[in-house]
Amino acid sequence: MRRYLRSVSWPPPRRLAVKVTRKQKRKPSQYQRSALVVKFPPRFDLIESPDDTVNFFEELRSAILIRPRRKVAMDHQSIEQVSPASGVVLIAELFRADSYAPRCKKTGNLPKRAEVAEILQKIGYWKYFGVTYTGKSSSNRQFMLHESGNRTTPKVVVDMIVHFREAVRFTAREEKRLYVALIECLDNVMNHAYPYQRRYNPPCLRHHWWVLAYRDSETHEVCVCFYDQGVGISETMRRRADNQLVLIPETDGELIIKAVVEGYQSRHLGSTRGTGLPSLKQFTDEAESGELVIVSRGVMCTFPHGKPPVYRDLATPFCGTLIQWRICR
Amino acid sequence: MKTLTYNFAEEFTVSPGGRYEARSEKSGEEFRKAVLQPLLEKYDRVILDLNGVFGFPPSFLDEVFGPLVKKYGRSELERRLAISLSDDDVALRVISSVYEKHSSRT
């Protein structure tokens, strides 16, 4: 179990391909009696402060999944800033914890900053603690969270587009393009992120996606964050390239950038695969401002509006793939 | 000669999903297997009206038309299946590239 979750040696050695068909849970005797305090970083932001945030997620995963405790106390006091992208990953981890280690009791304190508590309330975080934050709302951001799904669900995408209409006016043609791009992103998760081979399926893995979207009517900004706990974009592409004998770049960052940038060109050549992310990038290029950020395993790639894409390696590998798409117009 | 006009938006969905039935609601595979294939077997000519939909993902279209091109051949499928789509030129281009891609493989 530990071998699978320590992503340093990812992917684990090859084994026989076996379909994983049942959900597994921790046995009661496997929980450690001592409680553990998990402290949030001040900037709980996967995009702005990736290393601290990824370290926090590793610590949380260790306390809940690898060496599960009877009790985990979440220290929210120090959070100064929280991003929607971090929020969706946090929700996904708690979802997985509730499903795999249901006897792990989670407690915690409220953050000092009311804005932080409010954002966490809006994304549905406090319900995992059985509480509701009733502070007064001051933000213009309207969140819409679809916690998870294990199939491509067109209704989720339709709801998102309808949700965005109050903040950004898309033409009918643009709405069609956006619908197609978002469906392709969800479908890629379900078709590629979770291979059936046993080596990719640790017992705690749930084959789900998580989506968090928000709109800000004042700044005319819309944002979608997708998260899955799968093998990562680069691993998927390497597996496919192995089958097709295609030459691919050496580093994961270059590989993802090539997929997004050249995927756009291949779309015009009639390809029907890998068109979701290139299409989202095209939206950011056409908007007044915005960006597409992909955090996948050990790398973070950023595609800012009007600038060439850049990537950086993370100090600690991230579990899964997060895509944040944000535009302002 | 039996001809049928099938309105996709009214009779199947306004929000088509992804490629495979097992991993997507309202998928291309589901539409092909449950709707289009039986219609093509039952009628001499089917007119497929694809207007009024949120959008057609390329993987959906590939899964609907690709296997049919392989089965019937391009010219036979074009004779039996007419597509009416005036509000989405991108989807129309994708369909034509799917026809081309799969006919060159047969």
- ipTM at complex level: 0.94
Distance CA A220, CA B98 (A): 37
- Mean pLDDT (chain A, rounded): 81
Which pLDDT band holds residue A20 (cuts at 50, 70, 90)? very low
Alpha helix (H) residue ranges in A101-150: 114-122
SS3 A21: coil
Cα–Cα distances (Å) from A208 to A146, A192, A315, in that order, read 11, 12, 26
Which pLDDT band holds residue A3 (cuts at 50, 70, 90)? very low
- CA-based nearest residue in chain A for residue B61: A272
When CB atoms are compared, the residue of A179, A186, A275 closest to B58 is A275
Q: Reply yes or no on whether the pLDDT at A172 is more than 70.
A: yes
Q: Which residues of A touch B (CB under 8 A)?
A: 151-155, 157-158, 161, 172, 175-180, 183-184, 186-187, 190-191, 267, 270-273, 275
The Cα of A278 is separated from the nearest Cα of chain B by a number of Å equal to 13
pLDDT at A35: 72
pLDDT at A198: 65
What average pLDDT score do residues A284-302 get?
91
pLDDT at B106: 57
As given in the structure block, the two tokens for residue A43 are 């900037």
B17 and A152 within 8 Å at the Cβ level: the answer is yes
Least confidently predicted of A116-130, A157-171, A230-244: A230-244
pLDDT at A271: 60
- CA-based nearest residue in chain B for residue A276: B57
pLDDT at A201: 67
Which pLDDT band holds residue A199 (cuts at 50, 70, 90)? low
- Mean pLDDT (chain B, rounded): 92
What average pLDDT score do residues A61-66 get?
81
B92 burial level (CB within 10 Å; 0-12, 13-18, 19+): middle
**B51 near A CB under 8 A:** no
Q: Reply yes or no on whether the pLDDT at A68 is more than 50.
A: yes
pTM of structure: 0.85
Q: Reply yes or no on whether the pLDDT at A122 is more than 50.
A: yes
Which pLDDT band holds residue A138 (cuts at 50, 70, 90)? low
As given in the structure block, the two tokens for residue A37 are 């305090």
Distance CA B22, CA B29 (A): 9
Which pLDDT band holds residue A136 (cuts at 50, 70, 90)? low
B24 and A190 within 8 Å at the Cβ level: the answer is yes
Which pLDDT band holds residue B56 (cuts at 50, 70, 90)? very high
Residue of B59, B63, B105 to mutate for A, most A C-beta atoms under 10 A: B59
Q: Reply yes or no on whether the pLDDT at A207 is more than 90.
A: no
pLDDT at A269: 47
> Which residues from B are below 8 Å from A191, CB to CB?
18-20, 23
Could you report the per-residue pLDDT of A208-225, keeping only the tens digit for each? Answer: 889 999 998 888 999 999
Which pLDDT band holds residue B25 (cuts at 50, 70, 90)? very high
A186 and B18 within 8 Å at the Cβ level: the answer is yes
pLDDT at A103: 79
Could you report the per-residue pLDDT of A72-109, keeping only the tens digit for each? Answer: 888 999 999 999 899 999 999 888 888 877 878 888 88
Q: Quick one: angle between helices A114-122 and A84-100, nearest 10?
A: 60
- Residue-wise burial string across B27-47, b where 16 or more C-beta atoms lie within 10 A, e elsewhere: bbbbbbeebbeeebeebeebe
Name residue, tokens 């071998």.
A3
Q: Reply yes or no on whether the pLDDT at A12 is more than 90.
A: no
**B68 near A CB under 8 A:** no
The Cα of B103 is separated from the nearest Cα of chain A by a number of Å equal to 14
A191 and B20 within 8 Å at the Cβ level: the answer is yes
Higher pLDDT among residues A31 and A178, named by residue: A178
pLDDT at A43: 95
Q: Reply yes or no on whether the pLDDT at A22 is more than 70.
A: no
Distance CA A102, CA A94 (A): 10
- Residue among A262, A297, A299 nearest A277 (CA): A262
Distance CA A5, CA A61 (A): 9
